[in-house]
Amino acid sequence: MVGPGTEKIKRNVMEDLLTQYETVNLSAVKVWFKAGNIKDFPSNRGGCIKYKTKQIAIFNFERRNEWYACQNVCPHKMEMVLSRGMTGSADGVPKIACPMHKKTFSLVDGSNLNGDDFSIATYPVKIEGDEVFVGFLE
């Protein structure tokens, strides 16, 4: 049986989880983690990897010839769903829309494009040959 206390505990666990995600700028990268091969990620959609305790969504914007990575957890509903969101652009800025509530986030800087207070962490991606790497601080 699930009661109101269970929901509160779940929310607290997810909020604690959310604190581990922090945007990494290209100049600060200390570790390039091999996420997989290009063919492992669907074109113009997202895929998900695990790095240590983090779930990271990776997007192959084939139509833009660009790659992006961000946290997979939606900061609004606290669910691991961003890799399954809809990709697109808003005023030329690549974005991801959460599949649960359609809130949109910039894949460039993680800002919330709906004007809400919450944002997402983003990570640099590099392609070497046919391999995809995501940059982390540690």
- CATH value at residue 95: 2.102.10.10
In tens, the pLDDT along 71-110 reads 999 998 788 999 999 999 989 999 999 999 899 999 999 9
Question: 78 with 99: CB under 8 angstroms?
Answer: no
Q: Which residue has the tokens 């808003």?
A: 90
Handedness of CA 16, 18, 24, 29 (dihedral sign): positive
Is 97 within a domain? yes
Total domains in the chain come to: 1
Q: What pTM was computed for the model?
A: 0.88
Domain interval for residue 100: 20-136
SS3 17: helix
